[in-house]
Amino acid sequence: MSNRLNVKPNDLRAFWMPFTANRQFKQAPRMLVSAKDMHYTSDDGRKILDGTAGLWCVNAGHCRPKITEAIQTQAAELDYAPAFQMGHPIVFELANRLVDVAPEGLEHVFFTNSGSESVETALKIALAYHRARGDGSRFRLVGRERGYHGVNFGGISVGGIVANRKMFGTLLTGVDHLPHTHLPQKNAFTRGEPEHGADLADELERIVALHDASTVAAVIVEPVAGSTGVLIPPKGYLKRLREICDKHGILLIFDEVITGFGRLGTPFGSDYFGIVPDIMITAKGVTNGVIPMGAVFVKKEIHDAFMQGPEHLIEFFHGYTYSGNPIASAAALATLDTYKEEGLLTRGAELAPYWEDALHALKDAPHVIDVRNIGLVGAIELEPLAGQPTKRAFSAFVKAFEKGCLIRTTGDIIALSPPLIVEKGQIDELVDCVRTVLGEVE
Ligand code: PXG
């Protein structure tokens, strides 16, 4: 039990909270003081069912003993080691273990500290790869409307969430966007992959025709767009993107920060859809969200293209002080052990039918205009309150927290993604809570 229970910080002003309505929060704070398995405890001693795995990251549930112990032991044994021109054994072991669970062909791993850094790393690898092969005219990057690729400049440039972009000037140049795949008129209330919209991938042909393939370096998409409100790719869409990329020598990057590590009931989204990207971006679940870490997986050919020139020279001028940090590496190894022992990378597949039925039972709840699901992810889209977009969903979030459930909202969409240890009864509890709050919000 936390010794922070009922201890109120006397001043909330100094901390400028990320992606938060700061003034609203500071008037009525929602404080979490401890966590175990499927639950948080709030500072007033209430148990809160975690319907979002923290921020889509605590895939094995909270405060899992192996991970906690690994961090404690590692902190006492080797706290930090330089990552540039030096190494420590566990990060090499971790890279091998990650390659073992990754889709076939992704054989090398570059470590970062977050999803955002993984995105920047992947984009830089893509550009530098073409150049290393003497194909440096490939400088264009293609993202997608409504895509979320973190908050750094490369990521917001290829990303397509307007609020995350509009304040920040010119961004990267040479970026185009595919259309998003949200077609509510045709696909509302689809269970799993929607029928309509695979042809939206053909827009890539139009972009390529406009600029010429010889200028296009990479296409980056989330296999399932998470942050924007769970947009599931139409049947055949990702396969089509893969084919067009192959035809034109363009690298395909999957941003699996959310879909990685079991979220869809397969180890990675790539496994779910049977499409292997050239570069795969991960973070969050790699350490169960406990210690910041990201991992970018690349195909052997991409890595090998860098391994040329005099051997004493650095091959890729990129990296972070904390790339492969020993404590993060130890946390990640213990996380992989926990996933393996409990079958968590595929447990979502067993629960997915139950999850699907439970969510779609909300079809008739007040304000609901769409329900979508895949693996252990779901979204309930609400009719916005007239003239006040986002307000209805935000009220639902606040009320759900008061009733003991953590849900996540983006725009007027409720997104759910519980830890992969969730039990059926807890799925019912979560869905009942959403139904109740939808009955209460304006
Ligand atoms: N790519 C994707 C696909 C993500 O979902 C990032 C990159 C950036 O990761 P970092 O570690 O830099 O935050 C993300 C992060 C939400 C939510 O509620 C989603 C994210 C982060 C916080 C909240 O949808 N995704």
- Written as tens digits, the pLDDT of the chain (442 aa) is 566 776 667 689 999 999 999 999 999 999 999 999 999 999 999 999 999 999 999 999 999 999 999 999 999 999 999 999 999 999 999 999 999 999 999 999 999 999 999 999 999 999 999 999 999 999 999 999 999 999 999 999 999 999 999 999 999 999 999 999 999 999 999 999 999 999 999 999 999 999 999 999 999 999 999 999 999 999 999 999 999 999 999 999 999 999 999 999 999 999 999 999 999 999 999 999 999 999 999 999 999 999 999 999 999 999 999 999 999 999 999 999 999 999 999 999 999 999 999 999 999 999 999 999 999 999 999 999 999 999 999 999 999 999 999 999 999 999 999 999 999 999 999 999 999 999 999 9
Coil vs helix vs strand at 324: coil
Ligand 1: distance of its center to the CA of 149 in Å? Answer: 7
CB 5 within 8 A of CB 41: yes
pTM of the model: 0.97
C-alpha 132/C-alpha 80 separation (Å) is 32
Q: What is the pLDDT, as a whole number, of residue 1? A: 59
Q: Domains in the chain and their CATH numbers? A: 22-60+343-440 (3.90.1150.10), 67-341 (3.40.640.10)
Q: What is the pLDDT, as a whole number, of residue 103? A: 98
Residue 150, number of CB atoms within 10 A of its CB:
24
Element (H, E) at 410: strand 408-410
Q: Which of 271, 145, 170 is nearest to 220 (CA)?
A: 145
Alpha helices in 258-343 (DSSP H): 269-273, 300-306, 326-341
Ligand 1 nearest-atom number relative to CA 150: 8
C-alpha 43/C-alpha 30 separation (Å) is 8
258 lines ligand 1 (CB under 6 A): yes
For atom 15 of ligand 1, the residue with the nearest CA is 150
114 lines ligand 1 (CB under 6 A): yes
CB 190 within 8 A of CB 224: no
Ligand 1 nearest-atom number relative to CA 259: 3
DSSP secondary structure, 213-262, as one string: GGGEEEEEE-SSB-TTT-BPPPTTHHHHHHHHHHHHT-EEEEE-TTTTTT
Ligand 1: distance of its center to the CA of 308 in Å? Answer: 34
Name the token pair of 103. Answer: 């889709």
Which of 222, 230, 257 to mutate to test ligand 1, by most ligand atoms within 8 A of the CB atom? Answer: 257
Ligand 1: distance of its center to the CA of 55 in Å? Answer: 8
C-alpha 281/C-alpha 305 separation (Å) is 19
229 lines ligand 1 (CB under 6 A): no
Q: Enumerate helices (H) and strands (E) in the chain, giving the number of each.
A: 16, 15
Read off φ and ψ for residue 329, nearest 5 degrees. -65, -40
CB 194 within 8 A of CB 202: no
Ligand 1: distance of its center to the CA of 293 in Å? Answer: 13
Q: What is the pLDDT, as a whole number, of residue 6? A: 65
For atom 10 of ligand 1, the residue with the nearest CA is 115
Ligand 1: distance of its center to the CA of 292 in Å? Answer: 12
- For tokens 């004493």, what's the residue? 312
Q: Which of 212, 211, 232 is nearest to 221 (CA)?
A: 232
